[in-house]
Amino acid sequence: MEPAGMEPAGLGTGTEGTEPAGTGTGTEGIEPAGMGTEAMEPAGLEPAGLGTAGIEPAGMGANGIEPTGLEPAGLGIAEKEPAGLEPAEMEPAREAEEPPGSPALPAEAPQDGPPAAALSGEGALPGRERERGRRGAGAPGSAGRAARGRARRAPGRRSGAESVRRAGVTVDSSKAKTSLEALKISLRQLRWKEFPFGRRLPCDIYWHGVSFHDSNIFSGQVNKFPGMTETVRKITLSRAMRTMQDLFPLEYNFYPRSWILPEELPLFVAEVRMMKDSNPSWKPTFIVKPDGGCQGDGIYLIKDPSDIRLTGSIQSRPAVVQEYICKPLLMDKLKFDIRLYVLLKSLEPLEIYIAKDGLSRFCTEPYQEPTLKNLQQVFMHLTNYSLNIHSGNFIHSDSANTGSKRTFSSILCRLSSRGADVKKLWSDIISLVIKTIIALTPELKVYYQSDIPAGKPGPTCFQILGFDILLMKDLKPMLLEVNANPSMRIEHEQELSPGVFEHVPSPVDEKVKVAVIRDTLRLMDPQKKKRKDTQCQSSEQAPGASEEPPDAAPGPEAALPSLFLKQVFPKYARHFSYLRLVDRVAALFIRFLGVKGTTKLGPTGFRTFIRNCKLSNSNFSMAAVDILYIDITRRWNSMGIDHKESSNPGMCLQAFVEAFFCLAQKKYKALPLHKQVLSLIELCECRLAAVHGKRLVWGCGLAEPRRALPAAGTAPGPGCTGPPQPHGHRVLRLQKSSQLRALMCRDRTGS
């Protein structure tokens, strides 16, 4: 995780990076069949073949999702670029054809492209004229089109699209912090207008280096979501993943089994004992990570729960203890992880993009499976750049495929040259990213409605997230963590002599990060939308007028490479929508929050929810409802979670989700958990729709009670027709931890 708002003291640079050196035993993390470790990489092979990797989803099926119709079949390994070709020399593919992992794109757009003035809109006419001349001469048919375009327009009047372009996109970079350099390069490439010291008038885009905290932005777009930092903290992320693992254990098996300390210490001890008893040959290792920690700070490995360092720190600094992945994929005998950049473009509707390339950060000591002797060797077990930079073995390299920090595409290229199924790997990664974001969105929506209530002026948000992923020996990607504030530095520190550091440009960082920022901006371009709207209007007014004015200068797009970010959601929504149950529980929660600006539900709100959904009956009285509320709320509030409203004694979303699951288990005993929850959601949605319908009838004397519509992408369930019929056999929950939790829940609801 990146430090929130602060730079690593002294080590500052791109928090990613790491690298190997030397050789060693490395007998453990044996490479997947057919792709040995050493000698894997033909010298001088550039990541040209990366296009290869970028293929899609054969592997979607691996998660029980239909692999059909997912992607351009033709993009397979066969289409990889000839080795030795520099990515920059490749012709940019059309976006629709370009899967993640495609050749890394040139970080800098040609500076001698279309005239800056024409693009920024300032003093545009001369440039436009020059451009018109060029086009008229070069492009067949364009002169004629230009003449027609001129003839259509009244003299002195500009087309809507043209006047929109003239305004220029404005970006406030005054709070960009360490992402400033990459942002500046991106803005230069886009020829957008930067306001480095802020601006009295509103800007189109506000670029913040740390988190969403400005309450004085009322319009435009901000590159941070409210509550994102809190939502991806180690403990909160682990809780969200746990909830999803309880619902969909197989789909969410890409996140290591985790426990939250100190509150789940007894559960951790009990479960480990149970698992050891049932499988005596299991010799696990665990990794303890302080909540809110970053850059490997405070992390240590243990072999047994009794080794947890309880002395003070755990109480004052909660942590996550997690199963340690003992058999990672190695390269050059070294452990490495992947930093992938993901753009959450919109929360409602959900829109997710993945960067086509990322970074790989390497350890600096040859890897060995953990033993009591090597547990403390951080250069062997932790891939953090900030740690490994202090190793004498750390290698800075300007090449994308050597050194302690490389592009992910260079890794894929090596894997592919060994026959690995990189297409499936990409597909698994896409699936991991979408599922993780689905786990995070409920909490984010609660923060969002609180900070930017609907109907009030406020910005819209987007955010670049850093996904840290570890590949297992069998190429299965495992999520380590999500960074709300991934380092966007494009330089690294080099130690000239002990303690003396110098900042030097890092081409590997620049290549990836500038492309990520620039293309995020391109996707968020407010003028694109305006242009589209204007074109729609003018095409309604005058058929045929919707085309780009023929004599207008080409947009900045013309000078830029194809997009570095690829949409994965809603593109693959149909494969994942069934997972969005907690989202629907969160929608119920938000509906009953009442007071705008709050993130916690009061006892009255909870009672109203129960009443409106008609969930109480002779077996579950309103007194029992109150007890459930008090019991769960008190426990969640005693956990000392770093929450926006820590002093508010109400029920947070996670507590509501727990209460909801309890009610679902109570009501639909015979079903597996996800079906219990789905049934209750549908029942609630349906009954609320009926209440809403009645209100309309009373209010206007018209409408009939409405039937609830299933949320997009969800299968119709029992809904108003009453609870589903039990299947006649009891479906056993797989996870022992879930059983324990269910027991606790049963105690609380008295069922």
Can you give the binding site for ligand ADP, defined by CB under 6 A? 1, 256, 287, 289, 293-297, 299, 322, 324-325, 337, 382-384, 468, 470, 480-481
Beta strands in 306-415 (DSSP E): 319-323, 330-331, 334-346, 351-355, 359-362, 405-407
**Apex 203 CA angle, 538 and 129, nearest 5:** 50
Q: Measured between alpha carbons, how far is residue 616 from residues 586, 621, 662, 685, 687 in Å? A: 20, 6, 13, 16, 13
Cα–Cα distance, 473 to 34 (Å, whole number): 12
Q: Is the peptide bond before 554 cis (omega within 30 degrees of 0)?
A: no
* Shortest distance, position 422 Cβ to ligand ADP, whole Å: 22
* Shortest distance, position 477 Cβ to ligand ADP, whole Å: 12
Question: Between residues 19 and 481, which has the closer beta carbon with respect to ligand ADP?
Answer: 481
Cα–Cα distance, 167 to 750 (Å, whole number): 64
Q: Is the peptide bond before 549 cis (omega within 30 degrees of 0)?
A: no
Dihedrals phi, psi of 690, to nearest 5 degrees: -65, -45
Question: Between residues 1 and 21, which has the closer beta carbon with respect to ligand ADP?
Answer: 1
Contact 385, 395 (CB under 8 A): no
* Shortest distance, position 189 Cβ to ligand ADP, whole Å: 31
Question: Between residues 362 and 564, which has the closer beta carbon with respect to ligand ADP?
Answer: 362
| C-alpha 173: how far from chain center | 23
Tokens representing residue 119 in the block: 């693009």
* Shortest distance, position 564 Cβ to ligand ADP, whole Å: 24
Assign residue 85 a region: left if phi > 0, alpha if psi is -120 to 50, beta otherwise? beta
Question: Between residues 384 and 409, which has the closer beta carbon with respect to ligand ADP?
Answer: 384
Tokens representing residue 636 in the block: 């969640």
Q: Is the dihedral of CA 640, 319, 209, 600 positive or negative?
A: negative
* Shortest distance, position 328 Cβ to ligand ADP, whole Å: 7
* Shortest distance, position 78 Cβ to ligand ADP, whole Å: 34
What value does the CA radius of gyration of the chain take, rounded to a whole number of Å? Answer: 28
Cα–Cα distance, 217 to 460 (Å, whole number): 10
Contacts of residue 433, Cβ cutoff 8 Å, sequence gap at least 6:
340, 342, 352, 354, 467, 568
Cα–Cα distance, 414 to 392 (Å, whole number): 26
What type of residue is 437?
I
Cα–Cα distance, 410 to 412 (Å, whole number): 5
Question: Between residues 4 and 45, which has the closer beta carbon with respect to ligand ADP?
Answer: 4
Question: Between residues 31 and 481, which has the closer beta carbon with respect to ligand ADP?
Answer: 481
Question: Between residues 2 and 56, which has the closer beta carbon with respect to ligand ADP?
Answer: 2
Cα–Cα distance, 428 to 691 (Å, whole number): 42
* Shortest distance, position 461 Cβ to ligand ADP, whole Å: 23
Residue nearest to ligand ADP (CB): 1
Cα–Cα distance, 545 to 537 (Å, whole number): 9
Cα–Cα distance, 317 to 289 (Å, whole number): 10
Tokens representing residue 314 in the block: 């755990």
* Shortest distance, position 361 Cβ to ligand ADP, whole Å: 7
Question: Between residues 325 and 610, which has the closer beta carbon with respect to ligand ADP?
Answer: 325
Question: Between residues 21 and 187, which has the closer beta carbon with respect to ligand ADP?
Answer: 21
* Shortest distance, position 298 Cβ to ligand ADP, whole Å: 8
Contact 378, 335 (CB under 8 A): no
DSSP state of 58: G
Cα–Cα distance, 743 to 736 (Å, whole number): 11
Question: Between residues 284 and 723, which has the closer beta carbon with respect to ligand ADP?
Answer: 284
* Shortest distance, position 256 Cβ to ligand ADP, whole Å: 4
Cα–Cα distance, 663 to 624 (Å, whole number): 11
* Shortest distance, position 657 Cβ to ligand ADP, whole Å: 24
How does strand 463-471 pair with strand 334-346? antiparallel
Question: Between residues 104 and 382, which has the closer beta carbon with respect to ligand ADP?
Answer: 382
Contact 651, 633 (CB under 8 A): yes
* Shortest distance, position 295 Cβ to ligand ADP, whole Å: 5
Q: Measured between alpha carbons, how far is residue 228 from residues 244, 598, 686 in Å? A: 18, 16, 31
* Shortest distance, position 257 Cβ to ligand ADP, whole Å: 9
Cα–Cα distance, 475 to 331 (Å, whole number): 12
* Shortest distance, position 575 Cβ to ligand ADP, whole Å: 26
Side-chain-side CA neighbours of 564 within 13 Å: the count stands at 32
Question: Between residues 288 and 553, which has the closer beta carbon with respect to ligand ADP?
Answer: 288
Question: Between residues 321 and 652, which has the closer beta carbon with respect to ligand ADP?
Answer: 321
Question: Between residues 19 and 468, which has the closer beta carbon with respect to ligand ADP?
Answer: 468
Question: Between residues 252 and 576, which has the closer beta carbon with respect to ligand ADP?
Answer: 252
* Shortest distance, position 717 Cβ to ligand ADP, whole Å: 36
Tokens representing residue 491 in the block: 């330089």
